[in-house]
Amino acid sequence: MSKPNMSALVQWRDANVFTATSGSGHQVTMDGDKGEAASPMELVLMAAGGCSSVDVVSILGKARQQVTACRCEVQGQRADATPAVFTDIHLHFVVTGHGVAAQHVERAVALSADKYCSVAKMLEASVRITHSFAIEEA
């Protein structure tokens, strides 16, 4: 079964500011100057962190881990030359909960990286993506 096609519309507002509307009707503002909103490249980092976080939280829930919070701290290194593409992206997950087992978090992060996160899988052809995690007791 194939996934449905996706679409988006990006409209110029003014200066380097654009509004993007997804096919599902959600909007986000982008700013090439980063004055009013995140830049498109920052949104790529946010998408990688968001996609991976959805996976990690879902997998930990299925493993019956008592997660109360999860954050993904994403760092990206860009090439010095134009185009300034990402060369390296690191995702650091901080999982908070009650008695969360390290082996479950390690497995969830690995499954997201190796199998489930569409954004990271798409980027990994040209970007070195690394992962780490920490657990905090709630």
Q: Note the Cα 69 to chain centre separation in Å.
A: 16
Residues 56 and 34 placed together within one structural domain of the fold:
no
Q: Are residues 57 and 20 in the same domain?
A: no
88 lies in the same domain as 52:
yes
Are 34 and 50 within one domain?
Answer: no
Q: Are residues 44 and 99 in the same domain?
A: yes
Q: How many folded domains does the chain comprise?
A: 2
Residue 6 is part of which domain span?
1-38
User: Would the pLDDT of 62 be above 80?
Assistant: yes
Tell whether 57 and 82 lie within a shared domain.
Answer: yes
In this predicted structure, the answer to whether residue 2 has a pLDDT above a threshold of 80 is no
Give the contacts of 37 (CB within 8 A, at least 6 positions apart). 17, 28, 29, 30, 31
**CATH no. for residue 123?**
3.30.300.20
Token digits for 109? 């992060």
Do residues 122 and 68 both lie within one domain?
yes
Q: Are residues 34 and 82 in the same domain?
A: no
pLDDT tens for each residue of 74-94: 999 999 999 999 999 999 999
Is pTM beyond 0.85? Reply is yes
Q: Choose among 121, 119, 126: nearest CA to 48.
A: 119
Q: Is the pLDDT of residue 28 over 90?
A: yes
